[in-house]
Amino acid sequence: MGNRWQRLVAEIARFLTVGGIATMVALILFNFLVHGFNPGSHALLDDHVIWAYVIANTVGMAISYRGSRSFAFRHRSTSHPDGGRTAYVLINVATMTLPIACLWFSRNVLDRTDPWSDNVAANVVGLGLGMAARFYLFRTFIFSTPIHPRHPRRPRPHNRVPADH
């Protein structure tokens, strides 16, 4: 495996580590807000599952930004004046629609309201789709430039034919 692929695999591993920590926090918070910790008890947002998901994942997003900036993409700079925070939030909000759509479908079309169905829809299927989209979008639009590339690219000369030939 070449250096470029090794760096990419290492970057994906760091991204998944940060995402895993943020996801665990969001997962615990989501389940607490929707299902509570005692089976059969009334939870804070049991009738507002979408809002619970948004709140839990906003907390996870804050954790994820800090981890992405200081660990997953630490070797990349950003051209954004705010360090990419605004673009980060916009990408997260946009990609959050994927698990919300899965959760909505599970609840409203399939009529599944149990904790297992909520977590499979939002935190397995939806999260997997959102994570793939976020990795690509973060790497492309926020953390796009390596700070210290090992092999800087040299500009290639243009192969222009002189006009008089």
DSSP 91-104: HHHHHHHHHHHHHH
Q: Is residue 76 part of a domain?
A: yes
Q: Give the pLDDT of residue 101.
A: 93
Structural domain contains residue 152: no
The pLDDT value recorded for residue 162 is 52
Contact 83, 143 (CB under 8 A): no
In a domain, 138, yes or no: yes
Confirm whether 158 is domain-assigned. Answer: no
Is 57 contained in some domain?
yes
- Please report whether residue 24 resides in a domain: yes
- The rounded average pLDDT for each run of 10 residues, N- to C-terminus, in the chain (165 residues) is 80 87 92 81 81 92 85 75 81 89 94 89 89 84 66 48 52
In a domain, 47, yes or no: yes
Q: What number of CA atoms fall less than 13 Å from residue 30's CA on the CB side?
A: 27
Number of domains in the chain: 1
**Domain of 120, in residue numbers:** 3-146
pLDDT value of residue 88: 83
pLDDT of residue 89: 85
